[in-house]
Structure 1
């Protein structure tokens, strides 16, 4: 008799084995995910740095072409006349343009520049003249009409790590000009909105004393003015754009009762300890955000919302507080003060971890940490008639010294 022996073939995993394999895969994914995210952020940070490199090249090419730097808060004003000096200009942008506007031809945005620099009719039938058009043209609180060039999103002006997009912003930017280590009068610079440089308080003299950055509002600037050396002077800084979440870095809080520009009798945000006067409004449970109920300004008056505007909220940074600290606006006593046009403590910042990029005058891009040596943040700023005489070294340490163009300070530390 013959017996056949059969062998039972196993067809698959048991349930326990399958669960173990899934658990192992889950653990491996959990271990790898932070590394993948870190690699992605490193790539975004590199792309952001490359954007800044292009801006540095554009600034140098602009200076080579025109023998000066692009003007901060440049453009057209109400002073002057056409038709042989008999007719006042019918439109202007009140000298509020950022340095980015003049750089457009050097950033491969020639088509956009052609729209800006030639008369353009908007949908309301208004004719916009070269370098501005109808008054304000969506640049400040006196909005008259929609002006498409200012609403254009330009990819090279955006940091890939910043998710901000859409209304109520116009065209966003993450890169702004450095105006120095003082907020006093730097919202006006050397002239008022009508181009007047002598009235009411001799703006040019006041600005010359306090606005000590590589770029000075409503004044021509040159590489030859950077006596501290281009490699030791900040040209531009990175900023995050507002996401509508009361972030203290993108959403200004007002210093109630101060002088809006420093031109009045109040100290505003220029005196001892005044730079920190908004700090009491920070939410103690969420220290990166303002407490509820502290909103100021209209919905579009947020950091990074208008690339074409050179006003402090949109187009400037200063080195009074270290990177990623809070914005503090010098608000006058009027309940409807113009927050985005006022002087302000406007530190740079970013969506990167631990710091932000800055562009040096020689075109080098550096990553500055939040812990950079920033001197005494309770100090008075340098201004005409203040306790720290014009021409003095920056009271804000290495950080302040890097932001000034001609304070004759030696940079002997790594940054």
Structure 2
């Protein structure tokens, strides 16, 4: 019996077909990747917004319990003051019991400042995720204070949320109001409709630059709700500082309030968003900003959080940074 041999064509892709499939997959990935990245950034931005909201609400709760808002720097315990220690704890350290971190506060020896052992070694090992913006990343080291650096990703202590000490308009005296460095205490002049008004403020000269002290998280005095005449919905209490490189003047540990004559975790508003980095800006006057596209968040004194465009006018930021200057942001102003 004759055997019939048939040629069988092997099934599979030709080279051309394979290249077409690869090209289609590449196009789909190219279309989907930006959407995935945008979704991830939206999630990070929401997380950051929630961090600031929790800090803002903690400030409110602290003020309700203590009668005033937390200071930019101060003593955690009266014994520190009795011993004549420099008040170095930052405003975030005062908020620990109000953000479900009371156990951290209890683990510290509050008879002493943060730089005294065993506090410093303990603090370096305490991560508080709510003090970090998830959108910020860098490969540069972070200064740990009192000596030593650590890679940013390995540092549990960095904070990205500065308290707002007020509006430092001294940097540009051509604006509507400014700190007059010829008087002591300084005065702030505000041009308003129908005339002008002068108001005495604590704009104190320090080695790190002037301390505006016309905001809420300030040095020298305790700020009460009653002193926020501009309204809690119109006044910054804290904002993002998570852009650029984490030089040793920006990304400081969350517990540090002051060292020598300048403030680390509370700053003046004196620059536009995403500008003003040290050493171009003095230590008390560095800019707020973030790695979120287009701007950064600020928490208001009423506990709400607002996103401000990086192109917003500086005068608008000044009006929100001060608590009692009576500025009116015009209808044409946007943020």
TM-score normalised by length of structure 1: 0.61
Query: Equivalent of 2:127, from 125, 149, 153?
Result: 153
- 1:352–1:165 CA distance, 2 compared to 1 (3 A): same
Offset at 1:153?
Answer: 2.2
Offset at 1:366?
Answer: 1.0
**Partner in structure 2 of residue 371 of structure 1:** 311
Pair 1:20 & 2:20 matched: yes
Q: How many residues align?
A: 285
RMSD of the TM alignment (CA)? 3.3
**Partner in structure 1 of residue 256 of structure 2:** 309
Offset at 1:212?
Answer: 0.9
Query: What is the DSSP-based 3-state SS (H/G/I as helix, E as strand, rest coil) of the residue aligned with 1:235?
Result: strand
Offset at 1:149?
Answer: 2.2
Query: What is the DSSP-based 3-state SS (H/G/I as helix, E as strand, rest coil) of the residue aligned with 2:271?
Result: coil
Q: What is the distance in 2 between the residues matched to 1:39 and 1:52?
A: 20
Q: What is the distance in 2 between the residues matched to 1:324 and 1:356?
A: 8
**Partner in structure 2 of residue 33 of structure 1:** 33
1:231-276 superposed Cα distances (whole Å, 9 cap, x missing partner): 011111101166xxxx4xx54xxxxxxxxxxxxxxxxxxxxxxxxx
Give the structure with the higher percent strand: 2
Offset at 1:324?
Answer: 0.7
Offset at 1:130?
Answer: 2.4
1:274-330 superposed Cα distances (whole Å, 9 cap, x missing partner): xxxxxxxxxxxxxxxxxxxxxxxxxxx231222111235631232221111022559
Query: Equivalent of 1:353, from 293, 314, 323?
Result: 293
Pair 1:162 & 2:136 matched: yes
Aligned residues of 2:267 and 2:284 also touching (Cα < 8 A): no
Offset at 1:345?
Answer: 2.4
Aligned residues of 2:201 and 2:214 also touching (Cα < 8 A): no
Q: What is the distance in 1 between the residues matched to 2:73 and 2:317?
A: 24
TM-score normalised by length of structure 2: 0.74
Pair 1:398 & 2:316 matched: yes
1:65-100 superposed Cα distances (whole Å, 9 cap, x missing partner): 21211121111699964xxxxxxx2x73x1122110
Pair 1:322 & 2:301 matched: no
Offset at 1:220?
Answer: 0.9
Aligned residues of 2:80 and 2:111 also touching (Cα < 8 A): no
Aligned residues of 1:241 and 1:304 also touching (Cα < 8 A): no
**Partner in structure 2 of residue 112 of structure 1:** 104
Q: What is the distance in 2 between the residues matched to 1:35 and 1:27?
A: 13
Aligned residues of 1:179 and 1:316 also touching (Cα < 8 A): yes
Structure 1 unaligned regions, length at least 5:
82-88, 120-128, 139-143, 185-200, 252-300, 332-341, 375-396
